[in-house]
A and B are shown apart, each in its own frame.
Chain A
Amino acid sequence: MTQQFYVSPEQLMKDRADFARKGIARGRSVVVISCADGIALIAENPSPSLHKIGEIYDKIAFAAVGKYNEFESLRQAGVRYADVRGYSYDREDVTARGLASVYAQSLGAVFTAEQKPFEVELAVAEVGLTQEQDHLYRLTFDGSIADENGFVVMGGLADQISDVVSGAWEPELGFAGAMRLALRALAADKEADALPATAVEAAVLDRASESHRGSRRAFRRLRPEDMTQLLTEEA
């Protein structure tokens, strides 16, 4: 009869955390920046169709790094949660806080109970009427949740990129300024000073979507040509 080896809970959790961290560190990074015009989400992503950034609800967006199939299932579950909630109560009652805490519970449950933790890190962003009302939540593989101020950086070279962003971030940035900062930061380990607009996936949560576009839905995905235009017009 084979003997079951004893592994202490500390060791078990540490192994799982190391495993998840390694998975996430292999991936490319995502930057979420709160600025004067709203919230900008930029991911280094060569694929034009497999998104790391997505719309969840009117004012809420999602960004993720790690394993695509895992964060995609979380994104879809988030859309379902938000749509059911908005349909059964009201659109106003869908908040980033509610969504983030559900994500935290799911991630926490998978981390402790499943064979393998999710190798993902998520950001849930909600744009408010003023910058003080913006919410940025960062969720890690073990279900821990942090309320970030100003910006979130996740993924492989998070520390390096975070240093660049924190050095230049200021609340008065517009979308163009935030994009330029993100492109510069994401190039942290490259030869170039900044990534070209075509190498990233970008989206914004527009603070003034009601007045500018007549739409409650603040999320707008930027095509490469939109990015180029945005970066040249305010250069």
Chain B
Amino acid sequence: MQDPSTGPLATQATSSFTEHLQRSRPELLPFNQTLPAGTVPSSPHATTIVALTYAGGVLMAGDRRATMGNVIASRHIEKVFPADQYSVLGIAGTAGLAIDITRLFQVELEHYEKIEGTLLSLVGKANRLGAMIRGNLPMAMQGMAVIPLFAGFDQVSGTGRLFSYDVTGGRYEEQEHHSVGSGSVFARGALKKLWKPNLSEEQAVAVAVEALYDAADDDSATGGPDPVRQLWPVVYTVNRAGNRRVPERDLAAIAGTIVESRAIAGREA
């Protein structure tokens, strides 16, 4: 805690947790190190995230696989997190850094809320996330890139909105749906065929799971539904009521239906 006696507090006052860390504890920031020369050892990578809008909200889903080169590093990793009550984010790229940036972003939003007594606007949140990704640019240049996807419910317009980013922190608003990660090209193809305007929440969950299924089918770094270990994608929906994690039971049923329908069709691709 800063000593209230050290001069005017107002000059130090900030509503941003990241700025506070930058000043008082820069070593705690995930992206504030200067890396030594040399090649970065391989580390777990998180891959495919899909997000799509539906009637009254937005949804985000991520598979459960992390890879390190051609090895599966984890079958249980979670890549989609609630950021605050009305927003979620998914992460692709270097898993260790991405998880730390997520944690920092969660604290950033909660910190603002507590200091100011009000929530940040959705675009305000999206911009803060962009600034963090820009902060990570030196690490990205060394091969440790983190690419998030951000979705939330905009209280003002009353709709779900989607934002994608590049490694420089550039923020782009996406319409309808988007996907990031190595399996995203395949997921995008699936989303283009499956997504329709005004999907219901249940339909939207099924579309997201099927898009991830298609990504897992063609991308070795994306994990499909795993009935042996009872592992299903992590899916969050966000609407006027806030965010909600879709229960495993529902996901198991949806994944079961998709696998069954594909088996019945009996097609190779």
Q: Contacts A51-B117, A55-B114 hold; do A87 and B107 have CB atoms under 8 A apart?
A: yes
Residue of B nearest to A85 (CB): B1
Size band of the interface chain A makes with B: 20 to 34
Does B194 have its Cβ within 8 Å of any Cβ on chain A? Answer: no
Q: Is B120 an interface residue (CB 8 A)?
A: no
**How far is it, in angstroms, between the C-alpha of A102 and the C-alpha of B9 when the chains are bound?**
17
The answer to whether B1 touches A106, judged by C-beta atoms less than 8 angstroms apart, is yes
- The contact string, 1 if C-beta is below 8 Å from chain B, for chain A 49-91, is 1010011100000000000001001101111110110111000
A18, B115: Cα distance in complex, Å:
31
Question: What residues of chain A lie closer than 8 Å to B110, measured between beta carbons?
Answer: 83, 217
The contact of A74 among B4, B24, B104, B107, by CB within 8 Å, is B4
Smallest distance from the beta carbon of A16 to chain B beta carbons, Å?
14
Check: A13 CB closer than 8 A to any chain B CB. Answer: no
Q: Any chain B CB within 8 A of the CB of A233?
A: no
Do B25 and A88 touch across chains, with their CB atoms under 8 A apart?
A: yes
Across-interface contacts of A51 in B (CB, < 8 A): 117
- Is B13 an interface residue when CB atoms closer than 8 A count as contact? yes
A168 at the interface (CB under 8 A from B): no
Least Cβ–Cβ distance between B146 and chain A, in angstroms? 18
- How near does chain A come to B29, taking the closest CB pair, in angstroms? 10
Residues of A188-226 at the interface with B, using a CB-CB cut-off of 8 Å, are: 217
Asked if B259 lies at the interface with its beta carbon under 8 angstroms from chain A, I say no
Interface-side segment among A107-115, A146-154, A176-184: A107-115
* B5 contact set on A, CB distance < 8 A: 106, 109-110, 113-114
- Asked if A80 and B1 sit within 8 Å, CB to CB, the answer is yes
Give the complex CA separation of A113 and B111 in angstroms: 30
A76 and B104 contact, CB distance less than 8 A: no
Pick from B13, B103, B114: contact of A87, CB under 8 Å: B103
Number of chain B interface residues as a range: 20 to 34
**For the complex, what is the distance from the CA of A113 to the CA of B21, rounded to whole Å?**
27
Determine the distance from Cα of A102 to Cα of B1 in the docked complex, in whole angstroms: 7
User: In the assembled complex, how far is the CB of residue A51 from the closest CB belonging to chain B, in whole angstroms?
Assistant: 7
Q: A109 vs B2: C-alpha distance in the bound complex, in angstroms?
A: 12
Of the candidates B3, B24, B28, B115, the one whose C-beta lies within 8 Å of that of A79 is: B115
**Contact A84/B24 with A76-B13, A106-B4 known, Cβ cut-off 8 Å:** yes
Q: Please measure, in the bound complex, the distance between the C-alpha atom of A76 and the C-alpha atom of B13, giving whole angstroms.
A: 8
Which B residue sits closest to A118, measured CB to CB? Answer: B4
Most chain A CB within 10 A, of B3, B4, B28, B104, is at B4
Nearest 6 CB-CB pairings of A with B: A81-B1, A73-B9, A102-B1, A79-B114, A77-B1, A83-B111
A–B Cβ pairs within 8 angstroms, 17 of them: A49-B117, A54-B117, A55-B114, A73-B9, A77-B1, A77-B2, A79-B111, A79-B115, A80-B20, A81-B1, A83-B111, A84-B24, A84-B28, A87-B28, A87-B104, A106-B1, A106-B3
Chain A positions within 8 Å of B, measured between CB atoms, are: 49, 51, 54-56, 70, 73-74, 76-81, 83-84, 86-88, 102, 106, 109-110, 113-114, 118, 217
With A54-B117, A83-B107 already in contact, 9 other A-B pairs whose C-beta atoms are closer than 8 Å = A54-B114, A76-B9, A83-B111, A84-B21, A84-B28, A87-B21, A88-B28, A109-B3, A110-B5
